[in-house]
Amino acid sequence: MPAPFPSAPSRLSGHTPLLCGLALTRIIGWGSTYYAPSVLAGYLDREMGLGPELVFSGITILLLTGAFAAPALGKHLDMHGTRRSMCVGAVICGLGLAALALAQGPVSYLASWFVIGIGHAMTLANTGNVTVAQIMGERTRRALGLMMLVTGFSSSVFWPLAAFLSQAYGWRVAWLIFAAMQIVIVLPIHFAIPAYHRSPAAEAVAGPAKADDVGSAPPAQRRATFWLLALIFSASGLVSWGLPLNLIALLQSSGLSQASAVGIASLGGPATLLARLVDAVAGERFPVERVALGGLALGPLACLIMVFAPGSAMTAVTFVVCFSAAMGVISVARATLPLALFGRQGFGAMLGKLAVPQNIAFAVAPLLFAVMIESMGNRATLVASAAIQLVGFLAMLRLVRLLRGA
């Protein structure tokens, strides 16, 4: 059994510097990997002849690598903590980004993303969430909400940064600078993570497990709870990682000008951040499954608004704000809901298992939605998006009823 967690009252304030540092590493990690290709794709196409499909295939490789590494990594994190993984992962990310800067063609480019995917799995997403859970104890939900809020600034920081560096020094230098950030900034912060110890002696003297340690899902329902969560997060993730990439084109097809479409689409970022902020500040007052249920209901409603009342700027604004707010709530729930249901004991292993279907859904989403829009049109794609999200909502509704009846 893990050693006792620190007491709650001073935990948040006592770890504020480290949490701020970890938030910075998330911005760097997501910004230099997931968001940077959007800016640098044109340079890669001109110099190496890599089209957009091949450029963004790197992200697919990153996500699939993380999916298949996650189960074994999660068990390791529960046994040994996250400090070693986070430090080694920062070095691997740095090497992968440096290799990306030196790529000469499709093979070396895609191979670099495989290396980055290993480092990404060891430092970000699930590993970062487990780190917060092991540090913060029962205050994990609020801390994760605040971390997710800050992570939302990754694109706002790294899109202009990547654009400036690539224009001033070239895309290769840009990625070399991002690689250096992993060693100079990220690695020292990861070294500051407290060592995590498991005490065999503690198991013999420990009293009954706390609810925060074991979660609210009853043992007899844990298998069903897991599969419902996997369905919920995969369905919602399929839409949240596929539809936004085509958002501007979708708005233009409804009759808006390009300038209006871009301006309205830009409201998605603030709406997502606001939803995460509300959840971080007030979410602890409500059961996390109820908050997630609200977000899952709002997503399909937003898509249907755009289907049945297209053509006006007000409709487009309502759609973008509601859809983005729903995705913001659900993105936080992907970390906090498993914690609430399964507890901190074995949290890493549980997130690792859930990462397999989630990351596969994330990886196929961009290509799937591109095909859907091309073959079905925007209106039918919105209907399909609502239907996919409805599956997630119904699964969440079933989960709430399952927990209520337990």
| Residue 94: band (very low, low, confident or very high) from pLDDT cuts 50, 70, 90 | very high
Is a pLDDT exceeding 60 seen at residue 338?
yes
pLDDT of 5: 43
241 to each of 11, 203, 358, 359, 363, how far by Cα in Å? Answer: 34, 42, 11, 10, 8
Bigger pLDDT: 7 vs 55:
55
DSSP 8-class letter at 387:
H
pLDDT of 368: 85
| Residue 139: band (very low, low, confident or very high) from pLDDT cuts 50, 70, 90 | confident
Bigger pLDDT: 20 vs 144:
20
* Lowest-confidence region among 30-39, 163-172, 250-259, 371-380: 250-259
pLDDT of 211: 53
Contact between 172 and 102 under an 8 Å Cβ cutoff? The reply is yes
Is a pLDDT exceeding 80 seen at residue 242?
yes
Give the rounded percent of residues in the chain with a pLDDT score beyond 90. 30
Question: DSSP states of 335-357 as a string?
Answer: HHHHHHHH-STTHHHHHHHHHHH
Mean pLDDT, to the nearest integer, of 216-223? 83
Decide: helix, strand or coil at residue 266: coil
**Span 387-406, pLDDT tens digits:** 999 999 999 999 988 888 75
| Residue 284: band (very low, low, confident or very high) from pLDDT cuts 50, 70, 90 | low
pLDDT of 75: 87
| Residue 178: band (very low, low, confident or very high) from pLDDT cuts 50, 70, 90 | very high
| Residue 116: band (very low, low, confident or very high) from pLDDT cuts 50, 70, 90 | very high
Measured distance CA(18)–CA(6) in Å, rounded? 15
| Residue 200: band (very low, low, confident or very high) from pLDDT cuts 50, 70, 90 | very low
Task: Copy the structure tokens of residue 169.
Answer: 């020094």
**Span 308-327, pLDDT tens digits:** 876 688 888 899 899 988 98
Is a pLDDT exceeding 70 seen at residue 1?
no
* Lowest-confidence region among 144-148, 337-341, 397-401: 144-148
Identify the residue whose tokens are 């794709």: 41
Burial level of 301, CB count in 10 A (0-12/13-18/19+)? middle
Burial level of 107, CB count in 10 A (0-12/13-18/19+)? exposed
pLDDT of 3: 42
Mean pLDDT, to the nearest integer, of 167-171? 92
Tell me how crowded residue 203 is: count the other CB atoms within 10 A of its CB: 10
Identify the residue whose tokens are 């809020």: 149
DSSP 8-class letter at 2:
B
Which amino acid, 86?
A: M
pLDDT of 203: 44
pLDDT of 7: 44
Is a pLDDT exceeding 60 seen at residue 2?
no
Mean pLDDT, to the nearest integer, of 236-257? 82
pLDDT of 6: 45
| Residue 210: band (very low, low, confident or very high) from pLDDT cuts 50, 70, 90 | low
C-alpha count within 13 angstroms, C-beta hemisphere, residue 202: 10
Bigger pLDDT: 286 vs 299:
299
pLDDT of 207: 47
Contact between 67 and 358 under an 8 Å Cβ cutoff? The reply is yes
Q: Which helix (H) or strand (E) holds 253?
A: helix 247-253
pLDDT of 101: 94
Q: Which helix (H) or strand (E) holds 49?
A: none
Mean pLDDT, to the nearest integer, of 43-70? 86
Mean pLDDT, to the nearest integer, of 253-268? 78
Contact between 337 and 130 under an 8 Å Cβ cutoff? The reply is no
Nearest to residue 283, comparing CAs of 346, 333, 215? 333
Cα angle 160, 166, 172 (rounded to 5 degrees) comes to 130
Mean pLDDT of the chain: 83
Nearest to residue 358, comparing CAs of 72, 118, 30, 67? 67
Nearest to residue 214, comparing CAs of 341, 119, 309? 341
| Residue 37: band (very low, low, confident or very high) from pLDDT cuts 50, 70, 90 | confident
Q: pTM to 2 decimals?
A: 0.79
pLDDT of 222: 86
| Residue 370: band (very low, low, confident or very high) from pLDDT cuts 50, 70, 90 | confident
Nearest to residue 34, comparing CAs of 53, 19, 48, 55? 55
| Residue 206: band (very low, low, confident or very high) from pLDDT cuts 50, 70, 90 | very low
